[in-house]
Amino acid sequence: MSSVPITVVGAQLLKDELQRLKHVERPAVINAISEARAQGDLSENAEYDAAKERQSFIEGRIAELEGKLSAAQIIDPTLLDAEGRVVFASTVTLQDLESDENVTYQIVGDDEADLKVSKISISSPIARALIGKYAGDEVEVQAPAGVRSYEIIEVKYI
């Protein structure tokens, strides 16, 4: 299995979710199943069906998280020495050449991407266009609304 890049923060979020599922959610659903069983006839017991469905979801998510963490290549951006180059986990400030607006993004793994907190996926068109470039370089990004041009203002490893 190939390794999947993830930042230290992203890996910690996955570990926290896994911990919560194993030590809070799983015991709670097991308790709900046993309570529903105590009510008698399981064939028409909606609480039992709902608890079993929830248990199935939790077990599936636990397996998914364990798989992701076992395949994860955890990258700490503060330890990177990419000599000013845009790489995975770097934080990049861009200037839109049409609107002169500045935007800042951190390039992260697919599971961590969240545009609301300025984290874009390594597989997104803008991240793919930025990888390997330096501050001062201009890049063109094929966006759904057409080609956008940006200048890289700053590359940080934070």
Cβ atoms of 140 and 152 closer than 8 Å: no
Q: What is the CATH number of the domain that holds 135?
A: 3.10.50.30
* Partners of residue 139 on adjacent β-strands: 150
> Which residue, 29, 49, 73, sits at the end of a domain?
73
Same domain, 137 and 114: yes
| Contact partners, residue 85, CB within 8 Å, separation at least 6 | 132, 133, 134, 155
**Beta 119-121 vs 102-108: how paired, if at all?**
parallel
> Which residue, 73, 90, 107, sits at the end of a domain?
73
> Which residue, 24, 58, 73, sits at the end of a domain?
73
Same domain, 100 and 57: no
- Domain residues for the domain of 110 are 77-156
Per-residue pLDDT of the chain (158 residues), as tens digits, is 578 899 999 999 999 999 999 999 999 999 999 988 888 777 778 889 999 999 999 999 999 999 999 999 999 998 988 888 999 999 999 999 989 999 999 999 998 999 999 999 999 999 999 999 999 999 999 888 889 999 999 999 98
